[in-house]
Amino acid sequence: MVLRPVSAGDRPLLQRWLGDRELRKCTGRRLSILSGVRALPSPTDAQFLVLLREGERAIGLCGLFGISDDGTAEVGIVLGERDTWGRGYGPEALRLLLDHAYGDLALSQVSLCVHAANTRAIRAYEKVGFVTEQRLTVGRWLLGRGVEVLIMTSLSSTSAETATREAERCSALRG
Ligand SMILES: CC(C)(COP(=O)(O)OP(=O)(O)OC[C@H]1O[C@@H](n2cnc3c(N)ncnc32)[C@H](O)[C@@H]1OP(=O)(O)O)[C@@H](O)C(=O)NCCC(=O)NCCS
């Protein structure tokens, strides 16, 4: 699998994915944000096409958003080709994205927000080390009914080691 930056030539493919109603039901606004079709490029975002192999067909998009000086960012992924769901490609792409986040960009933590009903996505995130930090009900006032979402977080190995040491130190202090 390969991740490569999105280019102008990818527009027809991105428009096709944006036109897929079934896909939009799972992703909400995330698909248009990830595709960059309806937004200006931002220096704090990094969007990539997911290719099965170099030069082969693209199957989806993933990216990091709001990359911040404090070492954090938000992550997003959408496999636009529905026939590729359920084959482990999502976690494979996420692993490459996290390598980039924690290696090249030296981030310490990435997080995401996912509908609590999207069990396939939640499982895919868990497979690459995301843990659920919070379960929230959002939109109660705007939508008239609440939508359950999970906030999930992943830490770089260095940050995870620091967090473990800190937890052990606190528990030793408590006796
Ligand atoms: C979410 C997504 C990236 C996951 O990637 P994927 O390659 O399909 O993930 P996987 O093949 O590893 O499947 C993940 C898990 O879901 C399970 N799964 C498969 N089909 C499922 C289904 N129809 N319903 C629920 N779970 C399902 C699998 O069993 C697997 O868990 P396991 O490996 O422990 O058995 C991809 O499906 C996708 O892009 N979906 C549409 C967009 C979306 O929902 N994006 C996330 C928005 S937050």
Q: Is the CB of 78 under 6 A from ligand 1?
A: yes
**Residue 70 Cα, ligand 1 centroid: separation in angstroms?**
30
Q: Is the CB of 114 under 6 A from ligand 1?
A: yes
**Given ligand 1 and candidates 17, 25, 85, which is best to mutate, with the most ligand atoms within 8 Å of its CB?**
85
The secondary structure of the chain, three-state, reads CEEEECCHHHHHHHHHHHCCHHHHHHHCCHHHHHHCCCCCCCCCCEEEEEECCCCCCEEEEEEEECCCCCCEEEEEEEECCHHHCCCCHHHHHHHHHHHHHHHHCCCCEEEEEEECCCHHHHHHHHHCCCEEEEEEEECHHHHCCCEEEEEEEEECHHHHHHHHHHHHHHHHHHC
Instruction: Supply the pLDDT for residue 81.
Output: 95
- Asked whether the predicted pLDDT for residue 39 surpasses 80, the reply is no
Instruction: For residue 27, give the CATH number of its domain.
Output: 3.40.630.30
pTM to 2 decimal places: 0.92
Greater pLDDT, 143 or 101: 101
pLDDT digits (tens, 9 = 90+) for 74-107: 999 999 999 999 999 999 999 999 999 999 999 9
Domain assignment of residue 46, given as a range: 2-174
How many structural domains compose the chain?
1
pLDDT digits (tens, 9 = 90+) for 106-116: 999 999 999 99
**Given ligand 1 and candidates 24, 75, 112, 120, which is best to mutate, with the most ligand atoms within 8 Å of its CB?**
120
Greater pLDDT, 24 or 10: 10
Q: How confident is the model at residue 25 (pLDDT cuts 50, 70, 90)?
A: confident
Cβ neighbour number for residue 27 with a 10 Å cutoff: 23
